Amino acid sequence: MRIVRSMARSGGTLVGKCLGSMDGVVLLSEIHPAELRVTNPMMQAQQWFGLIDKKDIARWKTRPPSVLQFVSLCDTRARAQGKTLVLRDWSHMDYIAVPYGRPGFGFALGDALSDAYELRVSVTTRHPIDQFVSLQQLAVVAQKLEFDAYCTGCVRFAEYASGHGFHRYEDFTREPERVLRAMCEELEIRFDPGYAERWFAYTTITGDTQPGLGRGSRKREIVELPRKEVDGALLERFRGNADYTRACELLGYEV
């Protein structure tokens, strides 16, 4: 099973649009065993990709499937269409979780699937300050996001990423094709250069899909954006947090 992992507001939607628009790929977005209602992967599978039908939905109303059962059916149906299923993990639930729960600091989706599948995982990261500033724009998260808890989530994800191998979002914006080729190799899917002509129009994905929600959401080219101005007091608070500085060290970012 092919899985892409990234933290919330770290460019995962843009990367997902590029992968999802490649020929033969079916991408289900933000899947996590602990919360299937917010991102509604069943709706995605039914309405966007035709992987499940009304009979499946009706049957599951009385006995909801496990994540493994749901993914297995989607995988079987995707293969029948001659396509490859890729899952975009909702890693936010593992490392930050607010306002939907508490983080478990693990890989819940991988744990749910690993007994039945060999996992192919590709990981992307972003500078923790840029993620934090972007998260503050989401009222549903910002109202409950605690600074120290956020930094703890960042370092735990950085520990996973550094142990597994990762691609920095900043590098992706500078050299998207190089990074995407490497991710496709990790996921064992064929790199399709035609994505460059299709990613902007790709809408069957969750995340920053509304124009204006993210700074790059109106752009038709993948470009590196300058960092938003960060309040000096906030910057010093980050620099005084050991989890933050450790996360930067693990991921190769400047403190």
Q: Name the pTM for this structure.
A: 0.94
Residue 213 confidence (pLDDT) above 50: no
224, 228, 229, 231: CA torsion to nearest 10: -130
Question: Are residues 120 and 3 in contact, defined by beta-carbon separation less than 8 angstroms?
Answer: yes
Pairing type for strands 167-168 and 2-5 reads unpaired
pLDDT confidence band for 211 (50 / 70 / 90): very low
Q: What is the residue whose two structure tokens read 């190089």?
A: 178
Cβ-count burial of 131 within 10 angstroms (0-12 exposed, 13-18 middle, 19+ buried)? buried
Q: Which residue has the higher pLDDT, 178 or 226?
A: 178
Instruction: Kindly state the average pLDDT of the residues 208-222.
Output: 60
- Tell whether 83 is covered by a domain: yes
- Tell whether 238 is covered by a domain: no
- Tell whether 75 is covered by a domain: yes
Residue 35 confidence (pLDDT) above 70: yes
Q: Which residues pair with 191 in a beta bridge?
A: none
Give the span between the Cα atoms of 225 and 41, in whole angstroms.
Answer: 30
Residue 227 confidence (pLDDT) above 90: no
- Tell whether 191 is covered by a domain: yes
- Tell whether 244 is covered by a domain: no
Q: 125: helix, coil or strand?
A: strand
- Tell whether 54 is covered by a domain: yes
Number of compact structural domains in the chain: 1
Give the span between the Cα atoms of 169 and 6, in whole angstroms.
Answer: 10
| Domain of residue 222, CATH code | 3.40.50.300
pLDDT confidence band for 36 (50 / 70 / 90): confident
Residue 23 confidence (pLDDT) above 80: yes
pLDDT of 37: 87
- Tell whether 89 is covered by a domain: yes
Residue 74 confidence (pLDDT) above 70: yes
Domain span at residue 194 reads 2-127+165-226
pLDDT digits (tens, 9 = 90+) for 80-112: 999 999 999 999 999 999 999 999 999 999 999
- Tell whether 138 is covered by a domain: no
Residue 32 in tokens = 């996590």
pLDDT of 173: 97
CA dihedral sign, ordered 251, 88, 209, 234? negative
Angle separating helix axes 128-135 and 232-239, nearest 10 degrees: 130
Tell me how crowded residue 44 is: count the other CB atoms within 10 A of its CB: 22
